[in-house]
Structures are given as C-alpha cells and as structure tokens.
Copies of this chain bind each other. A is one copy, B any other.
C-alpha cells in the first residue's frame, strides 16, 4: 500500500470498499462453480441422442417462468440452484442444433473449441476493431484472409478482408462502399440524382430481406431496387438481367451495384457469377455477392467450383457462423482490391488512430468497419482452423451437401412428395401431397404440416414460398443427421398429412 500525499480533503474522498455481495459475484470459486455446472449440462446436452429439433412454448408461459427465476432479494449471493434453473430453462427452450431432429434453418452445430473460446473472449476481451486493445484478432484477420486469398487465387496483399458481426452488416457495408465510390459526393452531400439518373441497386428476386432493405437504409430508396428475374434453377437469369437493367436505365435509374447470391436463403441456389461479373463490368457497376451461405464452399476442393466467380466479384461476404460451424456472429467481407474497404467509411476519425503508428495502422480494422466494440469472433474461426486445418470444415461441409443430395433423391423417389429443385448446397425445398389432398389448398396444407411437425417437437423444419407456392424446407447443418433421419421425417410428415386430410375433408363435408 502506497502512502498517498493528499492535501486537505481527508478520508471522505476515498470511496467505501465494495460491498461483500458485489465482490462475491467476482469470486473465483463462484466462477469455477458456474463453469462446472455449465460444462456438466452442456456435456449432457451434446450427448442426447433423442430426436427433438425444438420445443415450442407459449411466450406468456415462458415469461412467467423466467420472471420467477429473478431474485427478489437484492444483493443476493450466488445461488447455484437458481443458476442451474436458468441453464435448464435455456437448454430446454432453445433450438436443438445438435439433435438429429434439427433441420430448420441455417444455424449451426458449432465446433466445441470455438464455444469454449467464447467464454475466454467474454472474460478476457480483445475488442477487435483496434489493434491497441485487440492485437490478436487483427492478426487473425490477416491469417484467415491469407487462407481464403490462396483459395481464390488472389495475389497476396492485393485484396482486403474485414470481419463483421453478421452478413446484414457486411452486405450493407459493401453496398455503401460501392455507393461512395460511384457517387463520390454521396458521403458528404447525401444521395442525389446524378447525370446518369437516380442511384439504384439490382438484386436477385430471391434476395434475403436484409439485402432488399439496404436501399431503404442508405437513402437510395426501396423504389430504386431493381429486381432481376430468375431462371428455372432460381438463379439470376443473365439474359433477363441484361434486359431488366436496360429497362431500368430507360426509367432513369443508374444501377451502380448488382448484388448476387451464393446461395440464396430460400433454396441455396448459386447465381452465375462469372457472367454477372462480365455484365457488371460492362456496365461500370460493382458486383457484390451475398455468399453468406455458400461462400464457405471455398474451403472444399469438391464444392469450390459451385461458387466459381466469387474471385471476380468486387466484394463478397460469407458467414463463418453458418457453414463454417462457428458461434454467431462471424462474417468475413472480402474486397478484391486492396484499399477499397476504407471507401465505406471515408470519415477521418483522427482521435481513434494516432498519426504516428504506421506499422500498426496496417492492422487496424476500425476504419474499415461499422462496428466500434466488436467481439474477436474471427479468433473462433482462426483457432479452429489452427487446430484442425481446412480439412475439418471441408469434411463436414462435403458431408452435409452429400446428405442433402441423398435426401433429394430419396424424396424424389416417394410418390407423395415432390422436390422443388435440385439442391446446390445443403438446402432442399419440397412439397407433400398426401392421398386425398387433391381438392385441398395445397399451400395452406404445407404451412399446416410445418406447424404440426414443429409443434410435435421432434423434427424442426421451415417453410418458404417459391413463386407464391408454399414449400417445406430442410437445411442440413448437423453432421449427426443421417439418411434414416430423413426417412423418419418423411414418416412424421405423412402422419400429420393423414390427420390434416381427414380433418379438413370432414370439415369441408360439414360446411
């Protein structure tokens, strides 16, 4: 303890020591206890082999149950029973991404080491936007960028990668960079019509809602979204796109950016990227690819050809928290040309960066990123890559794509099922047409089937509308799923199909 020369004010200036109950929350023993409890429950959770994709509960019930778990004794000490109850409630009510029944959406069963690392990075943060406080994530950005750069055939140091928390942010950032580059005054003066018409963005008809709203956010206006038609494989039609872009120009729209998908959220379809890159270049437009879902194909020797052309895009993003099996949210946003990333946020933030630090400034991601406090999510990916190598990601991804192909073939062989498309990734949409359903509303029937299947708590699947036709949809994210689980799902759907046909037919007869 230092002796402090303190003029005049006396003891009153020293704050009271922290109350016991608060210091208690930081007690290492309680940390250890919490870790042990979480470990025990997660191990049991991972070891479960029953089929339960999700369990739906009413919000009002859940609200009461959660409220009951809140202490009414302020300053309470660590209550192991209450913590245990909270973990149980959480694990009970969540989606079961590790169960063979979970087939609904693009949420992943994650690599366990990366989940463990999330505890470490929560307790001992390295905020990733600034080298000074987050050196390792900024270094890991470079190492992961190198790995992907090699796969893309890009020369070292000729490109850039920025990690963001989610593809919504990455897609918006890329379109913002395109907007600022194309309309140099738009950052300072705002979005205005130029000589070549109103700024506009072209997107595929199946684009994710986070893409279609970018124009609304960036001041371009949703009316200036040009929707490109799809071909029979639900890819952007190159011929149709050219025609649509011509028509847009005639309407006074200046399409400065084309946003393609690899793959689409609905069906996993990959747009024809090389042709779209040509089209964009010929028109002086920026090509951005929302490769949130299938960008990860880059890690697989066998799947990479399906996303050929990513290397030609001006920018693209991929979600490591989808098909690279990382905890959310870890998105990689690539720019083909080095130096372009700062275009998104051309503001000078002089007080964030010191003018003198040149070596370090090469590693600073803050000036190229929307986020200020950013989790070092890139480290989850880097450490998993460091431990297991690219092959880990490739093997799981290959398996999931093969499994989806097998599911497609299996469903196609069933007389009462129709597949909606050839699977280009790990997503498959299909329709069930049970005996006796010919006179029923087949779209409403699919929605009803999805709800009943989900509410039975075994298989969790989703639904999606394709050309106003409602389909059932499965997304294979969990490597524990085998073809026998697909067969199990089919039986479950059939069971509900029989029920619905019976109920609706009786009702119809009664009406």
Residues of B within 8 A of A167 (CB): 372-373
Among candidates B2, B90, B94, B199, residue contacting A484 with C-beta atoms closer than 8 Å: B2
For the complex with contacts A75-B395, A119-B119, 17 further pairs of A-B residues with Cβ separation under 8 Å are: A6-B410, A7-B413, A13-B406, A30-B112, A31-B115, A46-B123, A59-B131, A59-B135, A59-B362, A63-B139, A66-B136, A90-B121, A94-B125, A95-B127, A118-B119, A118-B122, A132-B454
Among candidates B89, B375, B413, residue contacting A6 with C-beta atoms closer than 8 Å: B413
How many copies of this chain does one complex carry? Answer: 2
Among candidates B7, B119, B136, B222, residue contacting A347 with C-beta atoms closer than 8 Å: B222
Contact B124 A15 (CB under 8 A): no
Compute how far the CA of A90 lies from the CA of B7 in the bound complex, rounded to whole angstroms.
Answer: 42
- Contacts A136-B62, A139-B66 given: A216-B188 contact, CB under 8 Å? yes
Sampled A-B contacts (12; CB under 8 Å): A6-B409, A6-B410, A18-B479, A25-B112, A26-B109, A28-B46, A59-B363, A66-B386, A83-B387, A93-B135, A190-B219, A351-B465
Residues of B within 8 A of A41 (CB): 120
Compute how far the CA of A465 lies from the CA of B455 in the bound complex, rounded to whole angstroms.
Answer: 58
Residues of B within 8 A of A131 (CB): 59
Q: Which residue of B lies closest to A39 (CB)?
A: B35
Interface of A, secondary structure class, is helix
Indicate if A71 sits at the interface (CB-CB under 8 A).
yes
Among candidates B83, B382, B405, residue contacting A13 with C-beta atoms closer than 8 Å: B405
Which of A9, A39, A74, A379 has the most C-beta atoms of chain B within 10 angstroms of its own C-beta?
A39
Contact A328 B93 (CB under 8 A): no
Contact A4 B223 (CB under 8 A): no
Contact A70 B386 (CB under 8 A): yes
Among candidates B23, B188, B487, residue contacting A4 with C-beta atoms closer than 8 Å: B487
